[in-house]
Amino acid sequence: MKKMKLVMVGNGMAGVRTIEELIKIAPDLYDICVFGAEPYANYNRILLSPVLAGEMTVKEIMLNDVEWYQQQGIELHLNKKVVHIDRVNRKVLTEDGMEQVYDRLLLATGSNPVVLPIPGKDLPGVITYRDIYDTHAMIEAAKQYRHAVVIGGGLLGLEAANGLNLRGMAVTVVHLGDWLMERQLDKVAADMLKSSLEKKGLSFLLNKQTTVINAGPDGRVESIGFSDGQTIPADLVVMAVGVRPNEELAKASGIHCLRGVVVSDTMQSFDPKIYAVGECVSHRGVAYGLVAPLFEMSKVCANHLAQLGIGRYEGSVTSTKLKVTGVDLFSAGHFQSDADTEEIVLHDAAGGVYKKIVLKDDKIVGSVMVGDTSDGAWYFQMLREKQNVAEIRDHLLFGQSHLGNTGHQGQSRAAEMADSMEVCGCNGVCKGVIVKAIKEKGLFSLDEVRKHTKASSSCGSCTGLVEQILASTVGGAYAAQPNRNKPLCGCTDHTHEETRQVIRSEHLLSISAVMDFMKWKTPNGCASCRPALNYYLLSTWPHEALDDPQSRFINERAHANIQKDGTYSVVPRMFGGVTTANDLRRIADVVDKYQIPTVKVTGGQRIDLLGVKKADLPKVWADLAMPSGHAYAKALRTVKTCVGSEWCRFGVQDSTQMGIQLERTFAKMYAPHKVKLAVSGCPRNCAESGIKDVGVIGVDSGWEIYVAGNGGIKTEVAQFFCKVKTAFEVLEYAGAFLQVYREEARYLDRTVHWVARVGLDYVKKRVVEDEESRKALYGRLLYAIQDEKDPWAERTLGLSRHEFEPLSVLD
């Protein structure tokens, strides 16, 4: 079959990213032809400011060099301007008379800088700030001239001013408004920014309207005049007063434009064969200029170009970070408060710190920060996810590190860290390695950094820090992927929630049915999505969906925990941590018989036999004659108990019996992640109920239930859930809580992550406040786990024998 022809006009970041995404998902669908008006291949426009400031070179900011286009088989025309689209005959025409037919056309023409319509705007020495050419012009000017005037005190203007100042020029920033960056900052923040830039040597003229640019005797710009009659010397004038979507070509070809090429959520213009992405686009009335939303558009556009038809672009919330070394500034959302909003402010003028968070209905709607912006990514994430912050509002301003983390997260301030400092303790990745990878490989997302450096790819506790490093390295280009819309994995664009919902509404019973129905992009998924799907199917349709062992991690397939040397560990169940002389004797005998090298008591009050050969597992289980402890599974692990009122002189409740009862009821319960419970017999809480998924504390009048605690990666104190009187109520409330978690959390969410996302109030509504709902949940949980067989017992009788035996043994 002949390939279709895709022609792209414009060779910038958004367009090329679209091509990259397209090649990834549909490599053979199109012959691709690209027209670029600039003489360069695709470079990172965001990093022009560091180039101007002398912190990076042009070479370092190239994203795709000419070889890349060759390797991908893309026909690349640099320095060729497309001047007309003949939509009837589906072809484009270039300035120099070349014609190119297309089946699909992609417009990525970007934007043009606004030039003030004032006398002298065309003089030599008057430039805008948009591309490599402008950057070079500024660098050259700085070598020969003294006075630079930047018109426009917005993001771009200030970055230009900073760069010129670093290159030795005396720079004055002229701004029409009352304060700098008024679209991103309030007056307080802007004043702080101004004074810190003044300390760096910049001068500012606010409330100034430029009316004329005057030439000197040599014909080059010499001075600049304002409406109030003042004139100041200027050897270089940089206009940075904004950009305008470059819609000329589209408009001239009869495509509907309104401050940009108007596109639908599928990135199609009014001519369905013509797509548009990037800064030239007007989507729902908004034209975006930051990279993150442009990349989101690219992704959607590529998907539709590939004829998959999944995904819509629904607009973006953006945040801003100034890329001026030594000035930390962050802004997002609606940062000006009004009658409907409240603000929380921390202002330390002498210390140079200003933080403002604007709240509406207990949700963050905007934020401005100066001086200490390390929590910007965190606020921004909560903003986008519309997370309710009522409970953390009193310490919100002190940042994420204040919220009881013991791990790395937020502990260090990314920008201040030395390159040699370790960021990811699991994979031994230092800050310098991450920064280098981001710069050299042109990385923009957390996933890419994970792939290339491994940082935060294991336990994930340093994710926040890695995001901070990413944000401070690429500046405004970075926006964390909104967690709420995160696809399940690279095999699909659907989220966990969407997938769960489809499984339920369509009554899907197998992984292949889900993949077919939801049009998975890969033939049989990957190691991330298959275990998730398997869990979703089993938890949605217990006793109906068929378990797929090949989609389980080895631990759940072998029913033991794989160790670094390929041996396994075996943890038999001891309900409530209580054992007997007989069990201990059998364990000791097994250790001797199979020469098990290490015997260790676990944190959950169990005995762990480490170093068992895989082939020995069924025999070890048979000799132990104890049920599986599920210490290897995303399932109920342990119920830790103290001795309670049976022995303890302080105990007020029989915590041991309560624990045993909980564990007997919920053993064999699979879940999105491991689940740990504890029961303490009095408020001294010796079983550490405060850091468990469900922690129960006995009090004189009954039991207090705490939920969503965590003692692992990120220590989180469990939150008070409810107080009940009887042991049966403990079972019912705990079970109902776990069932909501089982039915609604994402695979690999611990209870703490899930509750943080949906809010404790929601869970309480389902379990504590609604009796009918609670009883129904508890009933579903009991139904799901009834008749669940002990996996060890089944395997000692010969089930899945192939798992434990070699296919054959050669001499």
Partner 1 sequence: MDVTPMSRWIKVGTLEQIPRLGARVVQTRHGPIAVFRTADDAVFALLDQCPHKGGPLSQGIVFGHHVACPLHNWSIHLKDGQAEAPDEGCAKRFQVKQDQEQIFLDIGD
3-class SS of residue 463: helix
Residues in a beta bridge with 373: none
Identity of residue 252: A
Q: How far is the CB of 406 from partner 1 (least distance, A)?
A: 24
Q: Does 452 bind partner 1 (CB under 8 A)?
A: yes
Q: Does 527 bind partner 1 (CB under 8 A)?
A: yes
Q: Does 451 bind partner 1 (CB under 8 A)?
A: yes
Please give the C-alpha separations between residue 390 and each of 228, 359, 382, 458, 507, in angstroms, as whole numbers: 50, 10, 12, 31, 38
Per-residue mark of binding to partner 1, 140-159 (x: CB under 8 A): --------------------
- Strands 4-9 vs 104-107: parallel, antiparallel or unpaired: parallel
C-beta separation of 288 from 279 below 8 A: yes
Which DSSP category does 764 fall into? H
Which DSSP category does 528 fall into? T
Measure the CA angle with vertex 173, ends 170 and 174; round to 5°: 135
Region near partner 1 per CB under 8 A, out of 68-76, 223-231, 520-528, 768-776: 520-528
| Whole-number Å distance between alpha carbons of 535 and 546 | 10
Q: Which of 607, 616, 561 is nearest to 584 (CA)?
A: 607
| Whole-number Å distance between alpha carbons of 476 and 158 | 14
Q: How far is the CB of 495 from partner 1 (least distance, A)?
A: 20
Q: How far is the CB of 802 from partner 1 (least distance, A)?
A: 7
Helices assigned H by DSSP within 149-253: 155-166, 187-199, 248-252
Q: Which is nearer to partner 1, 379 or 535 (CB)?
A: 535
- Residues 79, 522, 598, 786: which binds partner 1 (CB under 8 A)? 522
- Strands 598-601 vs 353-360: parallel, antiparallel or unpaired: unpaired
Q: Does 525 bind partner 1 (CB under 8 A)?
A: yes
Q: Which is nearer to partner 1, 68 or 762 (CB)?
A: 68
**In the numeric block, which tokens belong to residue 407?**
């791990």
Q: How far is the CB of 750 from partner 1 (least distance, A)?
A: 19
Q: Does 458 bind partner 1 (CB under 8 A)?
A: yes
Q: Does 807 bind partner 1 (CB under 8 A)?
A: yes
Q: Which is nearer to partner 1, 775 or 801 (CB)?
A: 801
| Whole-number Å distance between alpha carbons of 630 and 561 | 9
Q: Does 207 bind partner 1 (CB under 8 A)?
A: no
Q: How far is the CB of 506 from partner 1 (least distance, A)?
A: 22
Q: Does 802 bind partner 1 (CB under 8 A)?
A: yes
Region near partner 1 per CB under 8 A, out of 167-175, 314-322, 393-401, 521-529: 521-529
Binding to partner 1 (CB under 8 A): which residues in 546-605? 549-551, 553-554, 557-558, 562, 564-566
Residues in a beta bridge with 282: 262
Residues with Cβ within 8 Å of 380's Cβ and at least 6 positions away in sequence, in order, are 317, 319, 332, 367, 479, 480
Q: Which is nearer to partner 1, 649 or 802 (CB)?
A: 802
Q: How far is the CB of 568 from partner 1 (least distance, A)?
A: 10
Q: How far is the CB of 493 from partner 1 (least distance, A)?
A: 18
Q: Which is nearer to partner 1, 284 or 451 (CB)?
A: 451
Q: How far is the CB of 126 from partner 1 (least distance, A)?
A: 45
Q: Which is nearer to partner 1, 226 or 553 (CB)?
A: 553
Residues with Cβ within 8 Å of 658's Cβ and at least 6 positions away in sequence, in order, are 641, 644, 679, 696, 698, 703, 727, 730
Q: Which is nearer to partner 1, 357 or 466 (CB)?
A: 466
Binding to partner 1 (CB under 8 A): which residues in 362-421? none
3-class SS of residue 423: strand
Long-range contacts of 130-134 (CB under 8 A, 24+ apart): 130/243, 131/38, 131/45, 131/48, 132/38, 132/40, 132/43, 132/48, 132/51, 132/58, 133/38, 134/48
Per-residue mark of binding to partner 1, 528-547 (x: CB under 8 A): --xx----------------
Q: Which is nearer to partner 1, 350 or 807 (CB)?
A: 807
Residue 722's H or E segment, with its range, is strand 719-724
Please give the C-alpha separations between residue 13 and each of 278, 612, 784, in angstroms, as whole numbers: 8, 53, 50
- Residues 217, 229, 523, 798: which binds partner 1 (CB under 8 A)? 523
Q: How far is the CB of 563 from partner 1 (least distance, A)?
A: 9
Q: Does 28 bind partner 1 (CB under 8 A)?
A: no
Residues at the interface with partner 1 (CB under 8 A) = 451-452, 457-458, 522-527, 530-531, 549-551, 553-554, 557-558, 562, 564-566, 802, 806-811
